[in-house]
Structures are given as C-alpha cells and as structure tokens.
C-alpha cells in the first residue's frame, strides 16, 4: 500500500507538468522531444524552445538550430525587436544601406529608439559579428542607460578591465539584472562574439522579465545617481574615453559566421557550392562559421507558483544560507557579487529568494554530492547574510516525492523518478529580524544517465555556411561555391582537419541548377529574386559508417549587377531646309536621353557629307562642338551607301571632302583653301586644342576591309558600327557579323573576329542591335523586332516590342560571364521628327526604359574603349551569351511574328558562334547554327562585292544558309565544350 501511494504521488506531479511548465525558473535541457535536434546539450535549450514557440526564432530545414553559430548585428536586432514586440513603420526614415531588407524594420525601430547606432552615417555593420559587451549596451539602452547616465556602475567580473569605457555601466546593469553571467571562473569575455544560443537566452530573459525587470532596472539606475551602486564595487583601470557607438574598435572586421570549408567529392573543378536551409531568422548570407566554445550564461529564473507546504512541516533548521560550492583547486576563486549595504542595527533585509539547483542526473554515484541551495535578493540585487545575522535566518527545503531532506541533500534516492520526469521543490526561508518569510519553488528535470562520449570527429549533421545565392544576372558561377559545415553529436563544428579522408558529398537537385558535385550546372535556371531553391545533400563516409541525406535550400538574392552599356549614334543628315536636322532636334534628342538616364551620358553625332558641306548648318555643327566640350560627346562620320555602288577611290574622295568641309564649317579658324586631300587637313586638327573635335568612328550600312584600313591610316579611326546589324552587303544577306559581341575584326573580312595578331585589323567592329538577333534570321516567318522605332513598320505609338527586346538584354542570365553587355542603336532624329508614330515610339521607349539597371549611355568609340579595356587588344577573352525568348508580338505584315513559345540560346566567342532553339514542351534543345570563325583561309572580300557573292562561312547547321548540313563530330564536341564553359547542361539534340 505504501508503494502504491508513492506511485500515485509521482503520477500526480507528473500529470501537473503542463500546469507549472511556464513557471519554471531552472532551464535544464531535455533529451527527448526537443523542437530542434541539436540543442539537447545547450544550456539555453528551454529558452530556445520558448522563443521558437512564440515565433521569434526558428531553426533550419534539417531540424537543427545551430546554437554555437555566431550571430550578426542585424540578426540580433531582429531577435531583440521581435521579443520586445517592436517594429518600425517609418518608411521615411533614412536607414543604413548595408542592412538586409528582411532586417530593416527591426534595425530601424532600434535606431529610432536610440538603442542601436551604426559605424557611420550610412553603415550599421549589419553583417559583422556582435560582441558580448555591445549586446549588453543594446539591452542597457533599452532599460534607460544613456550617455547622460552616471558612469558609476562597474561589474564584478574578473576581466572587467577589458570592458570598454562606453560599455562599463551597461555591463554592470545587465549583470545586476541577472541577464548575463560569466563563465565558471567569472570571466565575462566582453569582446568575444555572441552565438545564437546566448542571443536567444538573453532575449528570453528580458521577454520573461517584462515590466518587473524594467522596474528593477529603473531602481538600479536611480541608485547610480545617489552613488549607492558604487559601494563595494571593484574599480576599473582608466581607459581613454571612446565614442558610444555600437561597432566599437574591438569588433572584428570579419563578417559574421566565417566559412568553414569542408572536403568535396572528387572533381576536377574548384570547390563547389552547397545550399543551406533558410531559417526565418536569416542567418547572414555568405557569412562564415567559426567554431568556438560558448561563454556559458546561467538559466532564466522567472517567478514560480508557490508549492504548498507539507501537511506536517518540521521546524526549520539553521544552516548557512547558501551552501558553499568549492571550486577546483586549479581555478581562481571569482570575486563575490556586489551586496547591499547592511545595517546590523536594524537586522537583515531581503525581499526575494530563489532556489539554485544543479542538474540532477539519474546516476547513483552522483547522489552523495548533490546539494540544493538558495540565493537572497533585495530590490533585485543579490545579498549575503552578515555574520551577525546568520543565526536569525533559518530555512527548510521540501518536496512531496520525499527525495530531499530539509537541508537540500538527497535523502531517499529510491524516490527519484525516471529520466525526463520532474521533482517539484520548494524552500521556505525565515528571517527573524525584521521578521520575514520568503518562499520559492522550482521544478527539477531529472536527466538520464549520460551516454558514453562519442568521438568529436564523427559527423552527425551537415549544413551550409551560406543560405543565399545571387540571381543569375549577378552571379559569377566560377567564383561561387557551397561552403559545407559539419557538426558532431554535440552540435559542435568539426574542423576540416578532423574530417574523414573518405568523406563524399553528393547534391541531389531536381531543378537541374546544380550538378552532383554542387557546381552550377545550368546558370539560366536560377529563379527570380526571393525564390527558394530546395535540394538535398547526401553525406557518406564508409570509415565512420555514416550515410545520411539532409535537406537544404538557397534563397535567391539580388547581388551586384555588372555594368551595361547602351551605345547611341545620332545621325545628322540633309542640306536643304525641311530635310536637314535642326538645332532644336539636336537639343531635344539629347535632352530626352538626359532626362531619363541622367546628365552623364555621351553620344556620337554621326554626320554625312551633305550635312557638313553647307554653311547653313554651321549652327548645328557649333551645337555639336558645344556638346563635345560640355559632356564629352563624340563626332563621327556617317556613310550610308552600300560599298558596291562605287569604286574605292570615289569613297576616299568623299572622306577627304567630309573632313575638309567639316573643318571649314565647324572650325572656321583652321580653314586653309586648296588643301583638299592634303594630310595637313587632319594634322591641323590633331593637336591638343582640337583633337577632341576629330571624328572618332564610322557609322555605316556596311564596312569593308579597305574602308576600315583607310580610316585607320588617314583619320586614326578604329571604331565602326554597322547599321544593318549583320549584313555585309545590304543588297543581300550573304555575310553575317555578330550583332551581339564587339570584336577586333579580321583584316580581310570585318564579319570575322581576328584570331591572332597577324590578321587583326586593329579596328573594333560593332553592330547596331536593330534587329531581333535571332528570330529574323533563324526561324521561319519570324519578324524583325528591333530597338529601332522604324522597324517593324507599325503604326502604334507605344514601344512594347522594343522594350521587350531591351528587357531581354537587361535580364540576360549570362551577364556576369560576358566580356561586355551592350545594346546599341543608330537613329535619324530628323526622320523620327517627321514621322509622328516613330517619334512617339522612341520617346515611349526612352521614358519606359527600366531605371533600376546600371546602364551607361556611350558613343560608338566610347563602347570600343570599354571593350578594349575589358578584352585587351585581341579577341582571346571575348565572349557573349544571351538567353532570349520570342516576344509574341505580330507585325502588320500577315505571317511575320516573334513566337513567344520559342527560346533561343546564342553564345559565341572568337572561335565560333552557336545558336540553340527550343520550343516549349520539347524535351531537348536543337542546334540551328554553328559558325566556325577559325576556318582558314578567311575569305577576302573585294571592294566591289557582287551582291550574289557569299562571304560568310556556311558551316555546321546554319538554318538560313544551310539548314540540312550535318554537324561533324568535331563541331559537336566544340558545341559541347562551349556549353560546359557557359554553365549550360540541358539536353541537346545534335542530330
């Protein structure tokens, strides 16, 4: 019967677990049914679970919380603000520019309330690690510490001299409030970084303390003004006064969570990336993880419901109030905490008692040394009993399971319940003078017997040190990798040197973005910003008997875009009133571009012979020179006639006339009659004063080797832009240059990139991207959608088709691997002005061009200089890749359209051009063009080209020129190699 009664008592208290759970003041980690799989050894386990239940923190998709991971300043701000239910809605506040979008409202509210400060006017130090002393400063500011607070509070920590001046009072206050404690030797380590479990534990204590904690803080701060707080306090060595900022000089310049590199499976490529699971508290993207021993804080101690005394209480005994715990001989004894001044004449004063209960492990050999104790407080500050009052204080512990005696020792070990059960314990303290009775209660969680320690190098979990990946338009796949982090059973990071040599990792990605080694396989498949990429990490080590799969994910973030260029050549033509470009048109054209793209644009003013010939156009020429002086614009030559209409000598004459008459009408002071064709014309302008007014480029229908060589020899012009985008001869499509990639042209054929120094013409050839670069030539019945408002011939006044094409270039997923990203256009502004719908289309295009892109408007020669600076003086490093989709728009012509269900991949470098196409629903891509630029000899084109002469390479599978030509084994291999270079691994049909 006695045994049955004992079992009933145990069951009754176990059943009451849920009732008293929220009033627990002793946080002991449980071994089973935890919310996270890696916190059972964390001293903050209960706090982590409580905060997770409130939605203030979450873990990772693999079920881990990663308590030892360092926390960044913006992450800590998020936990702080959430726990205190603070969110900023002040959209007008100018905040720090380095704070992530998800953290902005939390940092802003702390900024508004003067809780946090930055490292400058614009920087918060968002992704830097937070130090322990700065965390103390944040919470102390919340409780009322300011720059005006008397600097009288000094903590009791052994290393208090290491605390910076600006943080001394803050550290003292949060110590007094029992929000922080030092390690077992009473060291605070003020300049060490805060890890996730520390940050959550402190926030939990503040959240749990509520208004009572704020009132205690207020009383303590008021005592500073009276000088009371400095009594019995150790003094701190004098330090030079530092500014009260968050990011003190002691904070590391490293970002939070330094990467820990892990081994890879065999791979000839550099170490690959792997993806993390994004926690709700975003653990800072690309931030490294540094394994470190945590500084152990104490458990939270909220108020508890009083346990009723036993029906037959025994008289209290009179032992020492706090049973001493003797530290190991090798450890220095920490200084005692500050105490309240005691006036023995009026007795001993205390207003609160708490129970101190170490972990109770269900292990008999530990029972004899187990001891309960308690701590007395007055007005929130710990006190000790003066020697004169010891005999006036008595206490008695009690528990209804009968485990402990009144002194807090284990009296009946047979009553200790099984692991994960609870023992409700109470204490009653009686103070005789003045008479007081204080009670407290707690709940002990009985731990199971500690299992044998596992080797610290045994892998139990894997995650990523980054949980973000930049969007494809900003990602350089060659430099991005997945940093793996491995943990043992205790949740500790395993150093790379301790990982097994036979460790293998394999990525399972159903979306096809990554290969099994974690490298980028298909760059263009990375989804839009804020999308999540889920995948799995398979870990295997035969030597450890390890084989498991973890879920992971990466969130797509904006990243930093590569600059893009928009080359603009504005045509100035005509010699008769009404057909001549006017000063007003010149001003309006440039002003419209400046209004949208800003004042720092530069354009080319390409002028034809007739325009520079007549004196009536001198005002226009003066306006162009004014723009050269004011904005750095360029002067160019416009020659729009096909080169098969006249002989080279006639063309040379036209060029000499152009320069002679341009000097006569634009730079009258330099004119010398009778100098036509004389080198002195050019030489008179090739001086420091006038060189900027010389023509820098040729804008033309077509470009011929002899023309480019003559311009280089006589006018030093090495930049050419073709009006017709791809056509060598405007009378027929018999030669195709690249409309996508600037290149140093071959000396014998401007349509072909030079392969070496010996065949380099020294002139960069660029096409005006006026035509849909794919559809108009490679897909049957497709239309010629263009940036140019006059092609296709439509009557609408909006620029939807043109903007659609521009958007494809701006959002090209392969931008980061391209040598230069550019669009270009050649416009006859007089013709636009005379055609109402064309003028409105161009205006609509400019005004609706996306403003969130970093696009620089340049002239023709300006673009050539950009290319030269990035690629050098040859084409060895030149490449361009574009993923493109048809627009779905139809022209006024019956059958021509740009099918929206077709996608194209256009990729080229100096060696070849490759174009793939795929219709939605097809299983594989098809090769529709392979053009080999390395074939020799390069077909040398005569000046008077017959329109039926083909100067292009008809190789591979060129849909328009040779649609049935089979690919050779060499061509197929070259395509495969090129696709691998640009991170494209989708299925391709080579038949």
pLDDT digits (tens, 9 = 90+) for 623-670: 999 999 999 999 999 986 655 666 788 889 999 999 999 999 999 999
Highest mean pLDDT among 571-580, 621-630, 842-851: 621-630
Beta strands in 273-413 (DSSP E): 352-356, 360-361, 373-378, 381-383, 393-398
Residue 762 confidence (pLDDT) above 60: yes
Predicted pLDDT at 103:
84
Predicted pLDDT at 937:
85
Residue 268 confidence (pLDDT) above 50: no
Contact 806, 823 (CB under 8 A): yes
Predicted pLDDT at 35:
79
Tokens of 683: 């030489």
Highest mean pLDDT among 204-218, 603-617, 744-758: 603-617
Residue with the larger pLDDT of the pair 226 and 557: 557
Residues sharing a CB contact under 8 Å with residue 222, sequence separation 6 or more, in sequence order: none
What is the mean pLDDT of the segment spanning 166-174? 89
What is the mean pLDDT of the segment spanning 920-939? 89
Residue 398 confidence (pLDDT) above 60: yes
Residue 876: band (very low, low, confident or very high) from pLDDT cuts 50, 70, 90: very high
Residue 252 confidence (pLDDT) above 70: no
Predicted pLDDT at 304:
33
Predicted pLDDT at 958:
65
Secondary structure tally for the chain: helices H, strands E: 20, 30
Residue 606 confidence (pLDDT) above 90: yes
What is the mean pLDDT of the segment spanning 510-535? 95
Read off the DSSP letter of residue 562: P
Highest mean pLDDT among 269-283, 445-459, 593-607, 896-910: 593-607
What is the mean pLDDT of the segment spanning 673-700? 95
Residue with tokens 């509070």: 153
User: What is the number of alpha carbons within 13 Å of residue 24 lying toward its C-beta?
Assistant: 23
Pairwise CA distance, residues 855 & 565, whole Å = 5
Residue 320: band (very low, low, confident or very high) from pLDDT cuts 50, 70, 90: very low
Rounded to the nearest 10 degrees, the angle between the axes of helix 618-631 and helix 648-666 is 80
Residue with the larger pLDDT of the pair 272 and 706: 706
Highest mean pLDDT among 41-55, 228-242, 611-625, 882-896: 611-625
Residue 447: band (very low, low, confident or very high) from pLDDT cuts 50, 70, 90: confident
- Mean pLDDT in the chain? 78
What is the mean pLDDT of the segment spanning 325-336? 35
732-736 and 727-729 beta bridge pairing:
antiparallel
Rounded to the nearest 5 percent, the helix, strand and coil shares of the chain are 30, 20, 50
DSSP letters along 161-174, please? GGS-GGGHHHHHHH
Residue with the larger pLDDT of the pair 865 and 854: 865
Residue 305 confidence (pLDDT) above 50: no
Phi/psi class of residue 926: alpha, beta or left (left: φ > 0; alpha: ψ in -120 to 50)? beta
Residue 785: band (very low, low, confident or very high) from pLDDT cuts 50, 70, 90: low
Residue 702: band (very low, low, confident or very high) from pLDDT cuts 50, 70, 90: low
Predicted pLDDT at 600:
94
Q: For the ranges 35-44, 339-348, 982-991, which has the lowest average pLDDT?
A: 339-348
Residue 299 confidence (pLDDT) above 70: no
Predicted pLDDT at 769:
59
Residues sharing a CB contact under 8 Å with residue 334, sequence separation 6 or more, in sequence order: 156, 158, 182, 185, 186
Helix (H) or strand (E) holding 213: helix 196-226
Rounded to the nearest 10 degrees, the angle between the axes of helix 104-112 and helix 73-83 is 70
**For residue 937, how many other CB atoms are within 10 A of its CB?**
8
What is the mean pLDDT of the segment spanning 428-447? 87
Residue 25: band (very low, low, confident or very high) from pLDDT cuts 50, 70, 90: very low
Q: For the ranges 28-37, 448-457, 487-496, 902-911, which has the lowest average pLDDT?
A: 28-37
Pairwise CA distance, residues 328 & 386, whole Å = 26
What is the mean pLDDT of the segment spanning 134-150? 86
Predicted pLDDT at 696:
97
Pairwise CA distance, residues 422 & 11, whole Å = 10
Pairwise CA distance, residues 799 & 776, whole Å = 18
**For residue 291, how many other CB atoms are within 10 A of its CB?**
15
Cα end-to-end distance, the chain, whole Å = 89
Residue 467: band (very low, low, confident or very high) from pLDDT cuts 50, 70, 90: confident
Read off the DSSP letter of residue 390: G
Predicted pLDDT at 297:
35
Residue with tokens 């603070």: 86
Predicted pLDDT at 89:
65
Tokens of 446: 């009985």
Pairwise CA distance, residues 686 & 693, whole Å = 9
Pairwise CA distance, residues 47 & 198, whole Å = 10
Predicted pLDDT at 582:
96
Q: How many percent of the chain have pLDDT more than 90?
A: 38
Tokens of 773: 């670069």
Q: Which residues of 707-745 are buried (b: 16+ CB within 10 A; e: fewer)?
A: bbebbeebbebbbbbbbbbbbbbbeebbbbbbbbbbbbb
Predicted pLDDT at 786:
64
Residue 64: band (very low, low, confident or very high) from pLDDT cuts 50, 70, 90: confident
Helix (H) or strand (E) holding 80: helix 73-83
């Amino acid at each position: 019967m006695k045994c049955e009664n004992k079992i009933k008592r145990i069951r009754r208290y176990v059943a009451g677990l849920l009732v008293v759970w929220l009033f627990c003041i002793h946080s002991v980690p449980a071994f089973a049914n935890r919310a996270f799989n890696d916190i059972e050894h964390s001293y903050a386990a209960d706090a982590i679970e409580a905060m997770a239940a409130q939605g203030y923190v979450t873990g990772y998709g693999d079920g881990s919380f990663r308590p030892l991971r360092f926390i960044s300043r913006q992450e800590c701000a998020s936990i702080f603000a959430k726990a205190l239910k603070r969110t900023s809605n002040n959209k007008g506040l100018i905040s720090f520019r380095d704070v992530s979008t998800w953290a902005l409202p939390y940092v802003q509210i702390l900024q508004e309330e003067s809780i946090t400060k930055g490292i400058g006017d614009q920087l918060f130090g968002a992704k830097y690690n937070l130090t322990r002393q700065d965390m103390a400063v944040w919470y102390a500011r919340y409780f009322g510490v300011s720059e005006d607070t008397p600097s009288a509070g000094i903590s009791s920590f052994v290393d208090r001299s290491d605390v910076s001046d600006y943080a001394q009072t803050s550290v003292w206050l949060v110590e007094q409030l029992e929000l922080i404690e030092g390690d077992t030797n009473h060291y605070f380590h003020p300049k060490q970084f805060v890890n996730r479990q520390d940050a959550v534990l402190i926030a939990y204590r503040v959240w749990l303390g509520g208004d009572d904690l704020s009132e205690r803080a207020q009383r303590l701060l008021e005592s500073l003004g009276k000088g009371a707080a400095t009594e019995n306090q150790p003094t701190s060595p004098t330090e030079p006064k530092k500014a009260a900022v968050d990011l003190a000089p002691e904070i590391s310049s490293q970002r939070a969570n330094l990467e820990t590199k892990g081994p890879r499976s065999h791979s000839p490529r550099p170490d690959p990336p792997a993806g993390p699971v994004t926690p709700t508290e975003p653990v800072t993207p690309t931030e490294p993880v540094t394994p470190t021993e945590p500084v152990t804080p104490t458990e939270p101690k909220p108020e508890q419901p009083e346990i009723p005394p036993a029906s037959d209480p025994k008289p209290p005994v009179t032992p020492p109030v706090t049973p001493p715990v003797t530290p190991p001989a090798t450890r220095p004894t920490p200084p005692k905490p500050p105490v309240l001044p005691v006036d023995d004449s009026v007795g001993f004063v205390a207003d609160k008692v708490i129970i101190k209960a170490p972990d109770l492990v269900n292990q008999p050999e530990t029972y004899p040394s187990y001891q309960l104790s308690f701590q007395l407080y007055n007005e929130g500050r710990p006190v000790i009993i003066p020697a004169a009052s010891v005999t006036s204080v008595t206490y008695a512990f009690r528990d209804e399971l009968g485990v402990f005696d009144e002194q807090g020792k284990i009296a009946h070990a047979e009553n200790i319940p099984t692991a994960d059960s609870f023992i409700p314990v109470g204490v009653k303290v009686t103070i005789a003078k003045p008479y007081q009775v204080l009670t407290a209660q707690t709940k002990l969680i009985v731990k199971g017997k500690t299992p044998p320690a596992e080797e610290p190098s045994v892998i139990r979990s894997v995650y990523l040190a980054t949980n973000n990946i930049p969007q494809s338009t900003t990602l350089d796949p060659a430099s991005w990798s997945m940093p793996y982090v491995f943990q043992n059973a205790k949740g500790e990071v395993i150093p790379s040197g301790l990982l097994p040599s036979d460790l293998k990792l394999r990525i399972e990605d159903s979306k096809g973005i990554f290969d099994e080694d974690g490298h980028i396989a298909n760059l263009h498949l990375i989804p839009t910003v804020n999308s999540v990429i889920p995948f799995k990490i398979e870990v295997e080590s035969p030597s450890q008997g390890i084989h498991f799969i973890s879920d992971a994910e990466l969130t797509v973030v904006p990243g930093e875009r590569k600059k893009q260029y928009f080359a603009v050549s504005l045509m100035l033509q005509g010699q008769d009133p009404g057909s001549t470009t006017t000063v007003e048109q010149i001003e309006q054209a440039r002003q419209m571009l400046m209004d949208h793209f800003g004042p720092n644009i530069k354009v080319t003013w390409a002028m034809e012979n007739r325009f520079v010939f007549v004196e009536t156009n001198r005002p226009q020429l003066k306006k162009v020179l004014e723009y050269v002086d004011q904005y750095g614009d360029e002067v160019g030559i416009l020659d729009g006639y096909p080169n098969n209409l006249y002989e080279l000598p006639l063309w040379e004459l036209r060029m000499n006339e152009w320069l002679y008459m341009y000097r006569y009408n634009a730079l009258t002071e330099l004119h010398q009659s009778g100098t036509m064709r004389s080198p002195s014309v050019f030489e008179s302008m090739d001086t420091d004063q006038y060189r900027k007014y010389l023509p820098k480029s040729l804008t033309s229908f077509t470009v011929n080797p002899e023309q480019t060589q003559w311009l280089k020899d006589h006018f030093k012009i090495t930049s050419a832009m073709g009006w017709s985008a791809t056509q060598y001869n405007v009378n027929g499509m018999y030669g195709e240059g690249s409309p996508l990639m600037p290149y140093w042209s071959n000396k014998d054929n401007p349509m072909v990139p030079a392969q070496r120094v010996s065949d380099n013409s020294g002139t960069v050839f660029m096409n005006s991207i006026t035509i849909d670069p794919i559809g108009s030539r490679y897909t049957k019945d497709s239309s010629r959608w263009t940036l140019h408002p006059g092609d296709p011939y439509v009557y609408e006044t909006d620029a939807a088709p043109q903007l659609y094409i521009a958007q494809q270039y701006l959002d090209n997923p392969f931008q980061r691997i391209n040598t230069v990203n550019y669009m270009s256009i050649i416009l006859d502004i007089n013709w636009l002005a005379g055609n109402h719908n064309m003028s409105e289309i161009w205006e609509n295009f400019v005004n609706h061009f996306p403003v969130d892109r970093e696009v620089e408007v340049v002239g023709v020669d300006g673009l050539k200089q950009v290319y030269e600076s990035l690629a050098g003086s040859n084409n060895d490093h030149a490449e361009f890749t574009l993923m493109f989709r048809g627009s779905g728009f139809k022209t006024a012509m019956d059958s021509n359209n740009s099918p929206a269900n077709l996608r194209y991949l256009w990729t080229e470098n100096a060696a070849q051009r490759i174009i793939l196409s795929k219709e939605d629903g097809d299983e594989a891509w098809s090769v529709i063009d392979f053009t080999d630029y390395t074939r020799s000899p390069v077909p040398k084109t005569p000046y008077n080209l017959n329109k039926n002469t083909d100067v292009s390479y008809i190789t591979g599978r060129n849909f328009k020129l040779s649609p049935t030509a089979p690919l050779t084994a060499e061509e197929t291999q070259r395509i495969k190699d090129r696709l691998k270079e640009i991170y494209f691994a989708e299925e391709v049909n080579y038949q």
